[in-house]
Structure formats: structure tokens, C-alpha cells
């Protein structure tokens, strides 16, 4: 039987932290000009819409896989979104799904190993931290894009 070490952060606080990041990313999606959301890029990086496609393909689907202990391959949505409003709708749906599946995780689950997308065999906590890190990374790219477009992004700490 495994014993748990003392917690530094509770499951509820980790979800609040993640959802704070998601709320800030949503604000960036909102302030992006429609055309630039799909087309603007610097230095060969993908446009923000493509980065958001990746974020949508990871967060809720991966957490659902973790909770159900089903590891399918990584795939981005087959449905082609063509308006920023569709992305915002999908973002909100994913946020609700994350909350739903999060409630099904136990503290013990976080230390269990899970083979995410059949490729990344790590403890569940590391997978979840990857979801957050990946979003922060891509949001940083969006900050660069917005500044290049002479749009003042929100402060990164306003979560």
C-alpha cells in the first residue's frame, strides 16, 4: 500500500491555479483580432488558432482519459473551427469538462502512472503539470503576437 506524503498544494488549489491560467488564455483569445487569430505568425510559429487547437486537444480529452484510464492517441479535433467565437465556445466547454473530470480524481490518483496518449508514461501529477506548462508556453507566444500587433495584452499575473 502506498503512503501519501504531506501535500504542498491541495487538489482544489491546483485546479484553481489551472483554471486561472485557462481564464487568462481565454482573455487572450477574446482580444485577438479575428483575422490575426487565424493568420498572424512570427518566425514560422503557428498562428494562435492552431496553438489553441492543440490546447483544446490536450486538456479536457487527456484528463478524461486519465480519469477513465483509457489512453488513446493524440488527435486534434476533426471539426474545423472558422470563427473565434467557436473557439471561445469550445474553450468554455472544455473548462466545464475539466471541472467535471477533476471531481473524479482522488488524491491517490495523482501519484499513479498513466501512459498519456500512449506515449508519455508519467505520474498523473506530471501529466497535469505538463498541461498547464504547455498552455503557459503557447500563451507566451500569443503575448508576443499581440505586442507585435500593437495590442496591449493583460498582465500575466491577472488570473
Annotated binding site: 138
Q: Is 128 exposed, middle or buried (0-12, 13-18, 19+ CB in 10 A)?
A: buried
Residues present in the chain in total: 159
What is the sign of the dihedral through the CA atoms of 96, 97, 103 and 106? negative
Cα-Cα end-to-end distance for the chain: 38
d(CA 142, CA 27): 11
Annotated binding site for a divalent metal cation: which residue ranges?
A: 138
Shortest CA distance to 52 belongs to which of 32, 67, 68? 32
Q: What is the grid cell recorded at 81?
A: 473551427
Amino acid at each position: 500500500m502506498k503512503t501519501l506524503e504531506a501535500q504542498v498544494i491541495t487538489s482544489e488549489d491546483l485546479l484553481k491555479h489551472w483554471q486561472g491560467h485557462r481564464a487568462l488564455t481565454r482573455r487572450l483569445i477574446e482580444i485577438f483580432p479575428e483575422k490575426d487569430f487565424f493568420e498572424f505568425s512570427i518566425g514560422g510559429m503557428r498562428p494562435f488558432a492552431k496553438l489553441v487547437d492543440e490546447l483544446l486537444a490536450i486538456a479536457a480529452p487527456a484528463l478524461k482519459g486519465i480519469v477513465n484510464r483509457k489512453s488513446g492517441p493524440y488527435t486534434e479535433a476533426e471539426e474545423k473551427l472558422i470563427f473565434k467565437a467557436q473557439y471561445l465556445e469550445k474553450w468554455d466547454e472544455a473548462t466545464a469538462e475539466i471541472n467535471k473530470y477533476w471531481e473524479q480524481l482522488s488524491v491517490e490518483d495523482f501519484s499513479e502512472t498513466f501512459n498519456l496518449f500512449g506515449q508519455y508514461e508519467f505520474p498523473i501529477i506530471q501529466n497535469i503539470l505538463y498541461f498547464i506548462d504547455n498552455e503557459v508556453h503557447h500563451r507566451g507566444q500569443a503575448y508576443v503576437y499581440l505586442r507585435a500587433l500593437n495590442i496591449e495584452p493583460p498582465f500575466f499575473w491577472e488570473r
